[in-house]
DNA sequence: CTGTTAGCGCTTTCAA
DNA sequence: TTGAAAGCGCTAACAG
């Protein structure tokens, strides 16, 4: 009962050979209709189930892909994974999840164990910018396992990636704030070593310069994407001799913290200070004072990353495919940055 | 370069046999210190990496477990999965994610493909109450693959589960509303066929009866866990000749919709109507009018489910382990149900 | 159309 | 302490 039936069992029963059974099961053309039906029938009778492990060992394809993210319990990453899973499951792949918690050692370990498990590909959002310099990381290239970055990528030649245009996002947000009448715009940034944060910052900078506003170093505060850091950043900003009248936060959570702190100081939003976040976390929409933010279409990002992987893995000829997909961010203007007295 | 080195390669180089290499690599006691060191050394030199697939085929253990949830992009499920992954990765297992989108056919298909992939266990939150009656589902018992339910479980003898005490949760919430002075308490329920929703409902009913309040069928509305359904439910409630003064929603999203609709009708929360949700979704805390809710400690739930699996899989003797873990829900009282003029 | 054979990479008796 | 050989379950090349 615990023992599973193999193709040998059904071969023996039918007094044929395992190869024939295999052919029948796989709809090989070189088999008679009669035996095929017979095999299929008795296979069902005997509750035969294909052992994918044997197939995997034989073919060298596990039909598993690894997905590595900092953590899964953030709406953004969970949504990307949702997209990946939906697309890949439909193509016969399973998705193995790994979290790094932004720990470089764990990140490397994840890659190692995934490769040992013979995954057919790795989709990841890097935690550590320099991870690709690690020796273990190079196994992925040596083994020629398709690697696709999404969102937090490293810039490696020959490696595909799916991102949004963070520069454009930063530019759009800043432009929007300026159009709302803001002249002194602060920026809550993240780890500038990560491309995404650097690009958002560069977009911000470009926008204010394009509008003839002078760049002020004091207005740029580098923080983590947390509510608390957002609050602290605002404390710092308010203590400036010339505090800002607009804030572009690279994180919704920090934007939330900023709003809390501003309210605690009886500062009116958006009239005194307008604010825009980033990522379109669900709560931004639900607040009474809804928070303007940037949508990154994470589910679509996941689907596209999955499809880039599929292309790559199905690409038979030697030509290396390198695909850099850049999605257009969508600025969602909500109450936190929309002044009522402005008529456009 | 693309070809990976096997134990045969290193055996050949050292002019020993693959078996010896295997023993050296696995720290078998029956091997000389000298050859072991030699093997380990050249293994490193040749960049040897164990092929887990071969091991899996040989041993019948894949070191993968499947996790099946309705969808991954909800904070609750993502958090449970986070807990599962953290616990299982530390024990050498990989987590394969599957989503059902509440589609029974997909749910069955997920189970089938996971079993074919030879997972060592399945942790799931069921989408369809009757899924266990499906013939395919029974493969899981025939194969003796450990099965653990979390949150949305079916009541099957011999199957372990990790849940919260939903009855207690429903009871606590309702009692709290009564203590706040509510006398006419409505309940937004879910699919009553799922134990979790039925138990919350039963807790609710018990509480009002314990307090001498008459149960009113009109106050119980069965909806989906969405903002829109929450709004519609409130519309219905407000149209009653005797509308409620308190609402216990089995879903935070529905609670949010309810609040939106109440506000649209200029009804004061919590003074005119108090409201409590369920699940402690992040947004409930962030609203200006923060929403009272029930925390289910999802990360811990995941960790426990993982540990129940580990116990089960490591249990060598024949004795069936059936473990039904029931966690205590925590009522989080926030603004939406805390009347200022009440002094306790 | 079907059978024979070999092999994917590893572990594990059984002998030596 | 090491070697030889079998086998996990499947597929594919080669014969017939």
Q: Where are the alpha helices (DSSP H) in chain B?
A: 7-14, 18-25, 33-45, 52-59, 75-89, 104-116, 139-142, 166-179, 195-210, 227-238, 252-264, 282-286, 298-314
Dihedral sign (CA A188, A192, A196, A198): positive
Whether residue B177 is predicted with pLDDT greater than 50 in this model: the reply is: yes
Which is more confidently placed, B158 or A168?
A: A168
Q: Do A142 and B49 count as a contact with CB atoms less than 8 A apart?
A: no
Residues in chain A: 344
Q: What is d(CA B12, CA B2) in angstroms, rounded to the nearest whole number? A: 19
Closest to A242 in 3D by CA, of A209, A222, A274, A216: A216
As a whole number of angstroms, the distance between CA A124 and CA A80 comes to: 11
Q: Could you identify the residue written with the tokens 């099957």? A: B156
B6 pLDDT exceeds 60? yes
User: Does any strand C atom come closer than 7 Å to the Cβ of B32?
Assistant: no
Distance CA B90, CA B302 (A): 14
**Mean pLDDT score, A38-66:** 94
A vs B: CB pairs below 8 A: 140
Give the residue among B244, B273, B270 at the shortest CA–CA distance from B333: B270
- The verdict on a CB contact (< 8 Å) between A71 and B50 is no
The rounded distance, in Å, linking the Cα atoms of B183 and B246 is 8
Strands A160-164 and A147-150: parallel
Q: Give per-residue pLDDT as tens, B11-61.
A: 999 999 999 999 999 988 888 999 999 999 999 999 999 999 999 999 999
pLDDT in tens, A143-172: 889 999 999 999 899 899 999 999 999 999
Task: Print the SS3 string covering chain A.
Answer: CCCCCCHHHHHHHHCCCHHHHHHHHCCCCCCCHHHHHHHHHHHHHCCCCCCHHHHHHHHCCCCEEEEEECCCCCHHHHHHHHHHHHHHHCCCCEEEEEECCCCHHHHHHHHHHHHHCCCCEEEECCCCCCHHHCHHHHHHHHCCCCEEEECCCCCCCCCEEEEECHHHHHHHHHHHHHHCCCCCEEEEECCCCCHHHHHHHHHHHHHHHHCCCCCCHHHEEECCCCHHHHHHHHHHHHCCCCCCCEEEECCHHHHHHHHHHHHHCCCCCCCCCEEECCCCCHHHHHCCCCCEEEECCHHHHHHHHHHHHHHHHHCCCCCCCCCEEEECCEEECCHHHCCCCCCC
Nucleotides on strand C with an atom closer than 7 A to protein CB? 1-5, 7-13
| A59 nearest nucleotide via C1' and CA | C8
B268 CB neighbours strand D below 7 A: no
What is the end-to-end Cα distance of chain B in Å, rounded? Answer: 74
Mean residue pLDDT across chain B: 94
Chain-chain contact of A116 with B54 (C-beta, under 8 angstroms): no
pLDDT at A317: 64
Model pLDDT, residue B317 = 65
Instruction: Verify if strand C has an atom below 7 Å from the CB of A18.
Output: yes
Does the beta-carbon distance from A96 to B99 stay under 8 Å? no
pLDDT bin (cut points 50, 70, 90) of residue A60 is: very high
Averaged pLDDT, B134-155:
91
Spatial distance between the Cα atoms of A269 and A312, rounded to a whole number of angstroms? 48
A232/chain B closest Cα distance in angstroms: 17
- Contact at 8 Å (CB) between A213 and A178? yes
Sheet holding B274-276, edge to edge: B220-222, B185-189, B246-249, B274-276
Residue B129 confidence (pLDDT): 87
Sorting pLDDT into bands at 50, 70 and 90, what band is A1?
very low
The answer to whether B326 contacts chain A (CB < 8 Å) is: no
- Whether the CB of B6 is less than 7 Å away from nucleic strand C comes out as yes
Interface contact flag, B62 A47, Cβ < 8 Å:
no
**Residue A9 and residue A47 in contact, taking contact as beta carbons nearer than 8 Å:** no
Q: Is B264 on the interface with A (CB under 8 A)?
A: no
The rounded distance, in Å, linking the Cα atoms of B36 and B253 is 60
pLDDT recorded at residue A2: 52
Q: Are B297 and B342 in contact (CB under 8 A)?
A: no
The reported pLDDT for the residue numbered B29 is: 87
B57 contacts on A by Cβ (under 8 Å): 51, 53-54, 56-57
Per-residue pLDDT tens over the stretch A165-202: 999 999 999 999 999 999 999 999 999 899 999 999 99
CA closest to C12 C1', residue:
B19
Per-residue model confidence as pLDDT tens digits over A214-263: 999 999 999 999 999 999 999 999 999 999 999 999 999 999 999 999 99
Tens of pLDDT, residues A116-130? 999 999 999 999 888
For residue A59, give Cα distances in angstroms to A62, A307, B38, B260: 8, 22, 31, 56
Question: Taking 60 as the threshold, does the pLDDT of residue B103 lie above it?
Answer: yes
The per-residue pLDDT of chain A, averaged, comes to 94
The mean per-residue pLDDT over the stretch B145-167 comes to: 95
CA distances in angstroms from A333 to A277, A319, B277, B315, listed in the order given: 10, 43, 28, 56
Among the partner-chain residues A2, A51, A113, the one whose CB lies closest to the CB of B144 is A2
Residue B193: what are its φ and ψ, rounded to 5°? Answer: -75, -25
Above 80 in pLDDT, residue B111? yes
The answer, for A299 touching chain B at a CB cutoff of 8 Å, is yes
Nearest-Cα residue of chain B relative to residue A71: B82
Q: Name A294's bridge partners.
A: A331
Question: Å from A134 to nearest chain B CA?
Answer: 15
Beta strand A330-332 with A293-295 is: antiparallel
The pLDDT of residue B344 is 44
- Among residues A258, A251, A244, the alpha carbon closest in space to that of A178 is found at A244
Q: Rounded to whole angstroms, how far apart are CA atoms B189 and B220?
A: 7
Determine if strand D comes within 7 Å of the CB of A35.
no
Q: Which nucleotides of D are covered by protein (CB under 7 A)?
A: 1-5, 7-13
At A342 the pLDDT is 52
Query: Which residue of A49, A72, A77, A262 to mutate against B (max B Cβ within 10 Å)?
Result: A72
What does the alpha-carbon distance between residue A100 and residue A108 come to, in Å, rounded to a whole number?
9
Rounded to the nearest angstrom, the minimum Cα separation between B143 and chain A is: 5
Interacting residues of A304 by C-beta distance below 8 A, sequence separation 6+:
A83, A162, A325, A327
Q: What is the mean pLDDT of residues A47-56?
A: 94
Reported as a single tens digit per residue, the pLDDT across B179-222 is 999 999 999 999 989 999 999 999 999 999 999 999 999 999 99
For chain B, list the domains and their CATH numbers: 7-50 (1.10.260.40), 62-163+298-324 (3.40.50.2300), 166-296 (3.40.50.2300)
Q: Does the CB of B56 have a partner CB in chain A at under 8 Å? A: yes
The stretch A70-75 carries a mean pLDDT of 95
- State the Cα–Cα distance between residues B181 and B213, nearest whole angstrom: 12
Whether the pLDDT of residue A62 is over 90: the answer is yes
Q: Do B287 and A286 touch (CB under 8 A)?
A: yes
Q: Is B125 in contact with B289 (CB distance < 8 Å)?
A: no
Q: How confident is the model over A294-315, as a mean pLDDT?
A: 96
Return the pLDDT at A127: 92
Q: Determine the pLDDT at residue B2.
A: 52
The answer, yes or no, to whether residue A344 has pLDDT greater than 50, is: no
- Interface check A79 vs B, CB under 8 A: yes
| Mean pLDDT computed over B152-162 | 93
B314 CA → C14 C1’, Å: 28
Which of residues 37-76 of B have CB within 7 Å of strand C?
48, 50-51, 54-55, 57-59
Give the pLDDT score at A142. Answer: 87
Q: Which of residues 31-90 of B touch strand D (CB under 7 A)?
A: 31-32, 34-36, 54, 57-58, 60
């Amino acid at each position: 009962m615990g023992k599973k039936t193999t193709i040998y069992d059904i071969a023996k029963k039918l007094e044929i050979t395992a190869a024939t059974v295999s052919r029948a099961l796989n709809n090989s053309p070189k088999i008679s209709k009669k035996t095929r039906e017979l095999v299929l029938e008795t296979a069902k009778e005997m509750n035969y189930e294909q052992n994918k492990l044997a197939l995997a060992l034989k073919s060298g394809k596990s039909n598993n892909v690894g997905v590595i993210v900092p953590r899964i319990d953030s709406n953004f990453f969970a949504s990307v994974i949702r997209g990946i899973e939906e697309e890949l499951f439909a193509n016969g792949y399973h998705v193995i999840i790994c979290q790094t918690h932004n720990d470089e050692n764990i990140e490397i370990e994840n890659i190692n164990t995934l490769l040992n498990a013979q995954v057919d590909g790795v989709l990841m959002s890097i935690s550590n910018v320099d991870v690709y310099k690690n020796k273990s990381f190079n196994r992925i290239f040596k083994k020629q396992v398709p690697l696709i970055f999404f969102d937090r990528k490293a810039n490696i030649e020959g490696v595909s990636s799916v991102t949004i245009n963070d520069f454009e996002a930063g530019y759009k947000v800043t432009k929007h704030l300026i159009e709302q009448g803001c002249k002194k715009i602060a920026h809550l940034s993240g780890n500038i070593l990560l491309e995404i944060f650097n690009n958002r910052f560069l977009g911000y900078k470009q926008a204010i310069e394009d509008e003839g506003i002078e760049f002020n170093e004091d207005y740029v505060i580098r923080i983590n994407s947390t509510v608390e850091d957002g609050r602290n950043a605002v404390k710092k900003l308010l203590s400036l001799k010339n505090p800002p009248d607009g804030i572009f936060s690279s994180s919704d959570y920090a934007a939330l913290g900023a709003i809390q702190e501003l309210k605690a100081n009886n500062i009116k939003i958006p009239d005194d200070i307008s604010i825009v976040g980033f990522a379109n976390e669900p709560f931004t929409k639900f607040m009474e004072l809804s928070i303007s933010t940037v949508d990154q279409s994470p589910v679509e990002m996941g689907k596209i990353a999955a499809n880039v992987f599929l292309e790559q893995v199905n690409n038979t000829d030697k030509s290396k495919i390198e695909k850099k997909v850049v999605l257009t961010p969508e600025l969602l203007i909500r109450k936190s940055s929309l002044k009522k007295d402005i008529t456009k």
